[in-house]
Structure formats: C-alpha cells, structure tokens
Amino acid sequence: MKFIVALALLTCAAAFGDSREDIAKMQLEYTRSHYTKYDYRIPMRDGVHLFTSVYVPKDTSQLYPILMVRTPYSVGPYGVDNYRPVLGPSEAAEKEGFIFVYQDVRGRYLSEGEFIDVPVHKAHFSGPKDTDESTDTYDTIDWLVKHVPNNNGRVGMWGISYPGFYAAFGLIGSHPALKAVSPQAPMGDVGNGDDAYHNGAFFLAANFGFYANFKPRLEPERPKKEVGFDFGTPDEYEFYLKMGPLSNANAKYLKGENRYWDDLLKHPDYDEFWQSRALAPHMQHVAPAVLFVGGWFDAEDLSGPLKLFRATEATGPQSAVTLVMGPWRHGGWERTHGDMLGNLNFASDPSAFFSEHIELPFFVSNLKGKGEGLKAPPHNNIPKAWVFETGKNQWQRFAEWPPKNATQKTLYFREGGKLGFEPDSHGDAFDEYVSDPAHPVPVIPYIGEGMPGDYMTEDQRFASRRTDVLVYQTEPLDHDVTIAGPVMPSLRVSTSGTDSDFIVKLIDVYPNDYPNPDPNPKQVEMPGYEQMVRGEPFRGKFRKSMEKPEPFTPNKPDRIEFVMPDVCHTFRAGHRIMVQIQSTWFPLIDRNPQTFVNIPDAKAADFRKAVERVYRGGAEGSGVKVMMVE
C-alpha cells in the first residue's frame, strides 16, 4: 500500500511540476500534523537508560496500540522538533494509526551501556539486575505501556535486518503485552547461514564492506557525518584479490581498530562463540503472533527467517506463525516495488501486495482486533506460509511448509554434462576441473561491487563457459516442474589438496525463444538466460563437523551433504534445469587456500591449485535433492 500511495503522490506531483523533495515535504507535513514526538530515556533493570523516540497520534478519541522498532542504526532525527517523514513499516500503517516507537539499542548512539555485536541470549541470569536484549525489550515494553498516554496495552514489534534480529529477540521470554512481532530479514544464525559464514565459507565482501564503517562507539553520541571506505577502484574483484590473504585486511586497512571484525576472524569454526549467538534454539513456545518475512534473493539474511520459522514451529507456538517469502533483495519490500530485480521481471507489484494484504492486516488484527488478518475463505485459516512462486510469478498460500504434496526427488549428475532423475550407471565415473585461487570464479560478470544486492539474479552463462566450472543440465522440460522447500546437495568429491570449497548453483535455463524486454535499455539477452534459483558454498573441511574441521586425504573420495535455503520456483515447460559446481566464488566468499590451514592466518604461499573431482557414477554418485510438488 505504501508504494501505491507514494506512486499516487509522485504522479500528482509530476502533474503539478513538483519534485521528489516536494513529496517528502508533504509526507513530513502529514506526520507533523497527525503525531506528536516525545523523547525518553527509559531505565533498564540494571540502571542503564535507553534513548527512545515516541510518536503519539494527536487524536485522543480512541486508544492506540504501540508498534516498536529497536535498532543499532540510529533512531534519528534526534530532538522532539525533528520528525521522520514516514512512520512505521508503511504509509498505510501511519494512516491507520499506531503509537510508533524507535529505540537505540544498548550502547548505540544516545543509549547508555555497552553494545555487543550479535548479542548472546543468556539462558541463566546472575541476578535480578543481569540483562540481555530480551530483558531490555521486556523492560522497555513494561515502561511504555505504563507511561505513554492513550495506549491500549497491546504492543507489536517489527524491523528489517539487524532490527529484525532484535524483533526476534523480543520473542524470547516476551512481555505479556507483546501480541504481534514481525522479524523481517532477521539474522537467525550469523555463524552459519546469515551474514558472516555460510557452511564455513566467509562472506568476505559483505563483511569487510560493513565493518569498514560499522565501528565500536566509546560513549553515547549522535551520528557523525562519516566518509565511507574508499576502495580506490570500482572493481572490487581486483581490490580483494590484491588485498591477498584475509590477514592483510587488518595489516593494510582496518589496523586492528574494529573488534567486531576481529571477532569474525577469530572464530572461523562454528564454535561456542557462534552457537551461543544463534537465535533459533531459543524460539521456545513463543507467545505472540509472528510474521517472519524474507526475500528469495536476499544476499545477506536469506536463511534467517527460514530457520527461525522452523524453530518456532517445532516447539509449539501459542499463537499463529506465518512465513512470508517474496521475490525481493534484502529489505526490498520496503525499498522497492519489487516488480523488477536485476534483469528479472516478476510481472506484478509484490511489495504493494505484501504491505496491503499481509503486513498491515497482520498488525491491525492482532493489535486492534479489527478485520480478518491473514485469514482467507473458505475455511478462514491463517496460512503457515504465504510465498511468491517465481517462474510463474504468483503468490501462493500453504497450510504447511514445505507443502504437504511436495516429495523428495534427486537430480543426478550424468555422463556428458546431463542431469536427470535417474542415477548415472557408470560406476566410479567422475568429472574434474582445476581450481586456482589466484584466478577465482567471479560472482558477477562485470566490474562492480563484491556482493551486489541483486547478484543472485545475474545471468550465469559467464560461469558455465569457464573450465573451472562443471555444468549439468536436463533436456528441455516437456511439462512444468515446481520445487518448494530446501535444496539439498549430496556430493561425492575428492581434491588433490587437503581442503577445498564446493559451490552448488541450481539454475533455470530459459529457452532460446524467450522474449527480450521491451523496451530494453540495458540490451539484456534473455534467450538462453541462466537464472540462478539458489546457490550456496560449502567449505570442505567441515564435511563431518562444523565445529571440528578435518583435512581431506588427497585424491580420496569423500561425501559432502548440506542444506541450502528454500525456494518456491517453477521451471516452465521448454526450460532446462541446470546445476553448476565450482570451488571459488569471489569476492562473495573468501578464497580457500586449498591446503588445510586456519584460513584467517593463511600466508600467500599456502594458496595452491587443486584438481577437484565430482563423482557421478552409481548409487553413491552426486546429485541435488529437491522437494518436488506433484
């Protein structure tokens, strides 16, 4: 809905010669005329005060629920006379009317205390004044419902990315007044699947780019005008390759001044440091209604909403829990229409649909007791999953996730680069390639960022033409094939080194008669386009344990099995299904030296070429398991 309103305003403004600045001014005037802003320093149980801005409707004819965001990224603008132009998750929510609350979390900007990056939930507290983010949330809500006038005693939380993480944290030991929570693109497990490490592989470009600017603060202060990190070149592939081993990041650039970055590299294994920071194990018997939201093309926190949804469902939630996944990049439902991403056209406006038909009804129903919420005829059931099916480009509601009618099938690698649902019969046959960390496979085919937000939409033809990428594909499909649920590679591999990465990409190959966009200003060639549906790395030394890495025995076959994030995608008739296998993906992930070393301490001499083999023959051959909807 917010995008419909914004579009209407933009159209109106254009008709009268107004600019985007005029639109922002109109939005700000609406907010100032309908809300009064207050700033508070709310006391926590240990005496620390958290800075909180509260926007209260001027209308006093009814009571309003509270809708809160807790963030490490600043609640600005600061001062009671300085207003946000738009409040809440959407313009529709602002017009519906809530008491909107924004809070700087402990240790950030004007809040007191010490900020802990990816904080730990404490299973046991040392005493009544011991705290974590769940107690800070509880204490904040308790103060708000007691002190903010004209509230109806019901509280909701939402947030995107790190604020989504804090929203999920609020589900732990939640305050009785907390009735509805929407963690959107939350980090569910930073040590394995979100942000930092994926199956042991370090997401280099995303983390260096973030922590070059996200730094510790010594005392409460307002945001400063800061100049972002200067890469000195638009070609981040070149930048990171010249940086060399990971240890050079501090030696050349960060100078040991950011302990958050240092913590990442001190813990390359999934040890107690990361295990204690995973939120999923703490989603126990959750009381509020929950709306987990994510994007199928989220480059940062795709795994978070999926993991947290499954964990919440597994322990018997006390209220309805729904998973929403749309065709978005990180936070794209708030920032874009969602009709386009990269070169892909979804032939709809999924962001407006989400705002109008899912997000706002969820909060209105649970916090105001109005409307049907997420219920729909004929049975008025709330769906377990409401997801966008890519390929067909349509929203689907499911009573279960994965869908009840989804069955596991395996796509086997076959001789001659073929892919099929029957295993190859050629015994211990294999395909091989040489992986060279000095010439890694790039994540994108052009000069640009190390991790563009839409990298998952890039045409993969550039990779399939490299000699260090294996390619397997089906014949053109004679009927639609829909998969819904996790993607599970099962590889039998060997390496001539003692460690190697194996990246698996599931790809939709468009037919040669697929139409180009019209108009086509980017001159994109869609016939034969290779759209990545899902791709994930696995660091081979963690094949037996994510906590205790083990070297490969050179040239000895071994098994790697892992789970990639879910999809809901239809490969249309006439398309092909493709799988690509490679051992570098740069600078999305760091380079594996292909020798068994602690990679953050690796030296340049540790990086060596390796011959990688993927065994495809017989019952023990390699393949990718998918959940196929019959």
Residue 241 sits in the same domain as residue 296: no
CA 585 – CA 298 distance, rounded (Å): 17
Statement: residue 211 has pLDDT above 90: yes
Question: Using one digit for the tens of pLDDT, what is the confidence trace for 470-501?
Answer: 999 999 999 999 999 999 999 999 999 999 99
Q: Given a cut of 60, is residue 13 above it in pLDDT?
A: no
Q: For residue range 496-542, list pLDDT tens digits in order.
A: 999 999 999 999 999 999 999 999 999 999 999 999 999 999 999 99
Q: How far, in Å, CA of 85 to CA of 11, rounded?
A: 19
Highest mean pLDDT among 16-20, 223-227, 304-308: 304-308
289 and 249 assigned to the same domain: no
Domain boundary among 274, 291, 323: 274
Average pLDDT over the chain, rounded to an integer: 94
Instruction: For residue 195, tell me if it sits in a domain.
Output: no
Q: Which helix (H) or strand (E) holds 143?
A: helix 133-147
For 556-569, how does the pLDDT look when each residue is reduced to its tens digit (9 = 90+)?
999 999 999 999 99
Do 383 and 431 belong to one domain? no
Q: Using an 8 Å Cβ cutoff, are 136 and 50 in contact? A: yes
Q: Which of 78, 314, 308 is nearest to 170 (CA)?
A: 308
pLDDT of residue 4 exceeding 60: no
Number of structural domains the chain divides into: 3
Which residue in 529, 454, 542, 460 sits closest to 202, CA to CA?
Answer: 542
Residue 259 forms part of a structural domain:
yes
CATH (domain of 161):
3.40.50.1820
292: left (phi over 0), alpha (psi -120 to 50) or beta: beta
Helix (H, G, I), strand (E, B) or coil at 254: helix
Q: Is residue 530 part of a domain?
A: yes
The whole-model pTM stands at: 0.95
Is residue 65 domain-resident?
yes
Minimal CA–CA distance to 217: which of 118, 131, 115?
A: 115
Q: What is the pLDDT of residue 18?
A: 57
| 542 and 485 together in one domain | yes
Q: What is the pLDDT of residue 120?
A: 96
Percent of residues, the chain, with pLDDT higher than 90: 91
pLDDT (tens digit per residue) in 540-550: 999 999 999 99
Q: Residue 301 in contact with residue 195, Cβ under 8 Å? A: yes
**Sign of torsion over alpha carbons 442, 445, 451, 455:** negative
Domain check: are 294 and 174 in the same one?
A: yes
Identify the CATH number of the domain in which residue 540 sits: 2.60.120.260
Q: Which domain holds residue 86?
A: 2-189+277-398
User: Is residue 440 located within the same domain as residue 528?
Assistant: yes
Residue 310 has pLDDT above 70, yes or no: yes
CA distance 243 to 142: 49
Q: What is the pLDDT of residue 389?
A: 98
Query: Which residue, 274, 301, 321, sits at the end of a domain?
Result: 274
Residue 493, CA atoms < 13 Å, CB-side half-sphere: 31
**Residue 203: predicted pLDDT:** 98
Tell me, yes or no, whether 196 lies in a domain: no
Alpha-carbon distance 310 to 295, whole Å?
16
Per-residue pLDDT band at 325 (split at 50, 70, 90) = very high
